[in-house]
Amino acid sequence: MTFVKTSYNRRSFLKVSTAAGGGILLGFSWLSSCTSEPAQAPGLTMPENWYDINGFLKIGENGVVTIMSPNPEIGQNVKTSMPMIVAEELDVDWEHVVVEQAGLDTENFTRQLAGGSQSIRQGWNSLRTAGATARYLLLAAAAQQWGVPVEELATEAGVIHHEKSGQSIGYGEVASAAAGMEVPSEVPLKDPSAFKIIGSSRKNVDAQKIVTGQPLFGLDVQREGMRIAMVAHPPAFNLELESFDAADALAMPGIEQVFAIDTAPEGVEQQWSDVNAFPKAVAIVGRSTWEVMQARKALKVTWKPTGQAESTGQHTAALAKLMEKPTALPQRKDGDPDKAFEGAAKIVERSYRAPFLAHNTMEPMNFFAHVQQDKAELEGPIQTPEFLRTTVAAVLGMEPAQVSIMMTRMGGGFGRRLYGQFATQAALISQQAGVPVKLVYTREDDMTQGTYRPGYLVTYRAALDESGNLIAVQVKGAGIHGSPVFANRFPAGAVDHYKAEDYSLDSNISTGAWRAPRSNFMAYAEQSFLDEVAEAAGKDPIDFRLSLFERAATDPVGENNDYDAERYAGVLKLVKEKSGWGKPAPGLHRGVSAYYCHNSYVAQVVDVEIKGGQPKVKKVWCAVDCGIVVNPDAARNQIEGGIVDGIGHAMYSALTFADGRPEQQNFDRYRLIRHAEAPEEIETFFVDNGIDPTGLGEPSLPPIQSALANALYQATGKRLYSQPFMSEAEVLG
């Protein structure tokens, strides 16, 4: 049995009794990654008194349990999975659990953030400890009431049993007494073999509300006296606001105010989360969305050049030119790569390119703000509420304690809602307008304002000896505002001579994290290249990779390799077995890929057919090592969503510029995957190794692109070096 300390820090545990409800409130600041919102179980009788306090597990007098969940929910299902972890250790009936979304509360919570596929991983031990500690206090209260040793008691589904005396009592009946018990210095955790809730599939706690259209999202927020706001920002990345004439707009029905705002005023320090190419914009405030949209068209705005050269309209050429320059020092260097290339029997060198990408969240960007003289109330979809509060307080001239932020469920995040300039705009508009407002973006607003996935270029070189053995690898990569290269990832550690180099290109086009940052491109480049090297070496693609993992596992090169070669090889062996790798069906063409990111390992095999001159993904086999899987159905949904997303963007999506203006501003020109283009079948296999959970929301996206590219090569005889794949010149030409 595993024991864990209950005191993680000075604020780690707080318990108070409910004044009237006879329950227990257990606060735990170590709930650093939980996520939830009210999910009332149909037919469940609620206790008379629920207290609106953040950061607690609450047990009512009738045994109903409320779990407050502080992190943002962006569709990754942590709002269900995290409370499952608490409920497992508490040993309560899942049907008696209510989940509520907490607002920003830095007194009781840490890391109230959705990003990096880290919520379950970072919350695993703390959530278990919270549930286990609550269970222990309930047991102690029952033991005291019955006058028996606590060791003689057992729990099941929210009921405490004493086998010797035959007595039983529900949690709710001892909850009040439990509040007075001393918190132990350590508590036992369940052995994973005893899990009943963890590892079982549970429905999304918001599912009924989602499908019945009940208010959950930022766009659903409605408040008395609320006005609708929109902004007009420069149409190109080399322009800024000079002046505007609002007379015609103000004369239109429903329009109340038009004024300029600045989200980056002088003297306010910008955070990483304040990415915004256009801090100065014109705000339009009115009674309805339609009226404000029409008035914005009537605005007469003069834009002036920023004086900055628009350097990335042709980003591929700019990145290629940048990589011609020598770097001062490589990010990593093992052995003597230059000498190894000089003596190589064969050298393979290839370059891979990717365009800018927009996030295109399903729910358009929006945020509610009500700013008064001494306080500001904000509510909406945001992945980084604490960072947002800091910025909003600074631009409003308030203290952070005067700013409250409530998180709504998000209709997709994908990294876009890490950057809260739209919420800062809402706060500034409300302050200047003197009324509560809901800021709403159109699709064009968001697709033209920046914060894109950067454009990338990477070049790989491989040296083979006369026996086809890989003896050296060199990788150098360049990107907008940063290189995509991970210097310590595979094949680092698996080859004697290795060098990684970074280049970064500045630009006035703003960029930000996009689902599986950097990995979303590097997996495609790395795994496509290794496939081609395997062919040059005359080896099977999977066997070639497995030989490299064997080297990295038994005799690794270097000490900073950030992957476990045995786990890496494990998913590749699993997908090889499950797909029947060497036996594709007639007419189908097969590709493979394996990649490590977000602390998890994913290997995929793709079958493609060419029908009517067009490629069609028939089936994807996906092997995943992400440790213990909390909610299997939800986990499969995450994997499948990442696969479909990765295929769609690799095949169809790109954002380009002309004179600094985005050429794709809506879905008429920015191509996304369609239903008929999704794989006909996806089969997912999880490695059952008992390891604590790791990332899951992002790891399935990166490798699918290269597995697809490798399958398309088998189908067409043409390697793919640029995304998107679906141009006839690239795929079928």
**Domain range summary for the chain, segments of one domain joined by +:** 2-211, 218-308+365-440, 315-356+452-731
Residue 434 has pLDDT above 80, yes or no: yes
The mean pLDDT of 599-603, rounded to a whole number, is 98
Lowest mean pLDDT among 48-62, 249-263, 464-478: 48-62
Note the pLDDT of residue 8.
Answer: 41
The more confident residue out of 28 and 133 is 133
Distance CA 100, CA 41 (A): 12
Residue 15 has pLDDT above 60, yes or no: no
Yes or no: say if 237 and 307 are a contact pair by the CB < 8 Å rule. no
Yes or no: say if 4 and 132 are a contact pair by the CB < 8 Å rule. yes
Note the pLDDT of residue 733.
Answer: 45
Residue 56 has pLDDT above 60, yes or no: no
Residue 72 has pLDDT above 70, yes or no: yes
Residue 654 has pLDDT above 60, yes or no: yes
Residue 130 has pLDDT above 90, yes or no: no
Of all residues in the chain, what percent are helix, strand and coil, respectively (each to 5)?
30, 25, 45
The more confident residue out of 244 and 107 is 244
The mean pLDDT of 132-141, rounded to a whole number, is 92
The mean pLDDT of 28-44, rounded to a whole number, is 36
Residue 110 — very low, low, confident or very high, per pLDDT cuts 50/70/90? confident
Distance CA 162, CA 146 (A): 9
Q: Average pLDDT of the chain? A: 90
Yes or no: say if 476 and 450 are a contact pair by the CB < 8 Å rule. no
The mean pLDDT of 442-446, rounded to a whole number, is 97
Residue 69 — very low, low, confident or very high, per pLDDT cuts 50/70/90? confident
User: φ, ψ for residue 253 (rounded to 5)?
Assistant: -60, 135
CB atoms within 10 A of CB 690: 10
Note the pLDDT of residue 330.
Answer: 80
Note the pLDDT of residue 559.
Answer: 87
Report the Cα 468 to chain-centroid distance in Å.
40
Partners of 608 in beta bridges: 589, 617
Residue 309 — very low, low, confident or very high, per pLDDT cuts 50/70/90? low
> Which residue in the block uniquely carries the two structure tokens 């955790």?
189
Residue 26 — very low, low, confident or very high, per pLDDT cuts 50/70/90? low
Partners of 354 in beta bridges: 456
Interval 603-637: pLDDT, tens = 999 999 999 889 999 999 999 999 999 999 999 99
Note the pLDDT of residue 313.
Answer: 58
The more confident residue out of 55 and 501 is 501
Note the pLDDT of residue 78.
Answer: 86
Distance CA 368, CA 380 (A): 6
Interval 183-222: pLDDT, tens = 888 899 999 999 999 999 999 999 999 999 999 999 999 9
The domain over range 315-356+452-731 is classified in CATH as 3.50.50.60: no
CA-CA distances (angstroms) from residue 271 to 340, 368, 392? 44, 21, 11
Percent of the chain with pLDDT over 70: 91
- 446's CB contacts (< 8 A; 6+ apart) are 358, 359, 360, 361, 364, 365, 416
Note the pLDDT of residue 591.
Answer: 98
Note the pLDDT of residue 182.
Answer: 85
Architecture (CATH level 2) of domain 218-308+365-440: 2-Layer Sandwich (3.30)
- The structure's pTM equals 0.93
Residue 46 has pLDDT above 80, yes or no: no
Q: Which CATH number is correct for 2-211, 3.30.365.10, 1.10.10.10, 2.30.30.40, 3.90.1150.10?
A: 3.30.365.10
Residue 161 has pLDDT above 80, yes or no: yes
> Which residue in the block uniquely carries the two structure tokens 């840490």?
110
For residue 324, the surrounding DSSP H or E stretch is: none
Percent of the chain with pLDDT over 90: 76
Q: Give, to the nearest 10 degrees, the angle between helix 519-536 and helix 701-716.
A: 40
Q: Is 218-308+365-440 the same fold as 2-211?
A: yes
Residue 317 — very low, low, confident or very high, per pLDDT cuts 50/70/90? confident
Note the pLDDT of residue 109.
Answer: 75
Coil vs helix vs strand at 260: strand
- 118's CB contacts (< 8 A; 6+ apart) are 33, 598, 695
Note the pLDDT of residue 328.
Answer: 60
